[in-house]
């Protein structure tokens, strides 16, 4: 069994109000030095068998179909070692 990670983030040209809210809150909580925040999602998938090209292609299809809204979000797929 292999663990495959899908990270989903808003595309750079899409406004991220949650990230902006976090960035504004950090100084109020005593944190400094953060210029910007982008908020995203992380999915961990346990796939049966090896994480070969066929399995990763299937995970990419899952990401495009369900996990990410590809109109406004980008995603990356990687195998966790």
CATH architecture of 2-80: 2-Layer Sandwich (3.30)
pLDDT band at 69 (very low <50, low <70, confident <90, very high): very high
Cβ–Cβ < 8 Å for 8, 40: yes
Could you give the C-alpha distances from 77 to 2, 5, 41, 42, in angstroms and in order?
A: 13, 6, 12, 10
pLDDT for 50 beyond 90: yes
Angle (CA) 19 22 25, round 5°: 155
* Domain ranges (residues) in the chain: 2-80
b or e along 53-74 (b: 16 or more beta carbons within 10 Å of the residue's beta carbon)? eebbeebbebbeeebbeeeebe
Burial of 46 (0-12, 13-18, 19+ CB in 10 A): exposed
Q: Which pLDDT belongs to residue 60?
A: 98
């Amino acid at each position: 069994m292999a663990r495959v990670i899908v990270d989903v983030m808003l595309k750079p040209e899409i406004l991220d109000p949650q990230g902006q809210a976090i960035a504004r809150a950090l100084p109020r909580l005593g944190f400094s030095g953060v210029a910007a925040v982008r908020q995203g999602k992380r999915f961990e998938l346990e796939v049966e068998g090896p994480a070969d090209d066929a399995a990763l292609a299937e995970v990419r299809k899952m990401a495009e179909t369900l996990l990410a809204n590809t109109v406004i979000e980008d995603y990356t797929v990687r195998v966790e070692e």
